[in-house]
């Protein structure tokens, strides 16, 4: 029991106000370093700008860690990953538009004479050799014989034909 009493006595001697302050300071520095590491990770995720990264580091290293709230105010709202997703989304929209254009160009039509299925870029029907395309008299662009109006210059194609007959 003697030993135990001495141990308790020593224990109370060790735990002094000084030690308490030291522990508090150590605790403070651990939090500070954690916040610096977190800010470093967070800012490199959010921006590639070296200036912003250094500014964020300055805020948490040279001002106290409590200034991390200032960092939260000035940091870019979106992470690089979120920006990347946004870009992919925009590119998908663009791709969708391109695909629609392609689909439009590949639109299947039917030969007016033999009902054979044709691709819109065919100039003659592969089945009955009917001429499918002509050139607009006004703008010289290739247009389908079925069209009533040239889609490039808005000239009436059917009227041109009637004029030819006269």
Using CB under 5 A as the criterion, which residues of the chain lie in contact with Zn ion when the complex forms?
Answer: 111, 113-114, 116, 125, 127-128, 130, 136, 138-139, 150, 152-153, 155
Shortest approach of Zn ion to residue 97 CB, angstroms? 24
Shortest approach of Zn ion to residue 47 CB, angstroms? 51
Q: Which residues contact 151 (CB under 8 A, 6 or more apart)?
A: 143
Q: With respect to Zn ion, which residue has the nearer C-beta, 67 or 147?
A: 147
**Rounded distance, CA 145 to CA 90, Å?**
38
Picking from 76, 88, 84, 86, the residue whose alpha carbon sits closest to that of residue 46 is 76
**Rounded distance, CA 106 to CA 132, Å?**
15
Q: With respect to Zn ion, which residue has the nearer C-beta, 42 or 160?
A: 160
Shortest approach of Zn ion to residue 129 CB, angstroms? 7
Q: With respect to Zn ion, which residue has the nearer C-beta, 68 or 136?
A: 136
Picking from 36, 88, 80, the residue whose alpha carbon sits closest to that of residue 62 is 36
């Amino acid at each position: 029991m003697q030993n135990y009493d001495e141990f308790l006595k020593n224990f109370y001697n060790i735990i002094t106000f000084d030690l308490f302050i030291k522990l508090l300071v150590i605790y403070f520095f651990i939090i500070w370093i954690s916040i610096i590491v977190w800010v470093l990770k967070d800012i490199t995720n959010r921006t590639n700008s070296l200036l912003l990264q250094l500014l964020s580091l300055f805020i948490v290293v040279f001002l106290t860690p409590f200034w991390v709230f200032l960092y939260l105010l000035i940091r870019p709202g979106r992470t690089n990953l979120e920006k990347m997703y946004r870009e992919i989304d925009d590119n998908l929209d663009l791709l969708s538009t391109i695909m629609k254009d392609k689909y439009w160009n590949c639109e299947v039509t039917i030969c007016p004479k033999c009902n054979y299925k044709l691709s819109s870029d065919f100039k003659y029907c592969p089945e009955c050799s009917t001429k499918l395309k002509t050139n607009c008299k006004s703008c010289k662009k290739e247009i389908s014989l079925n069209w009533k109006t040239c889609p490039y210059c808005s000239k009436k194609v059917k009227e041109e034909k009637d004029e030819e007959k006269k």
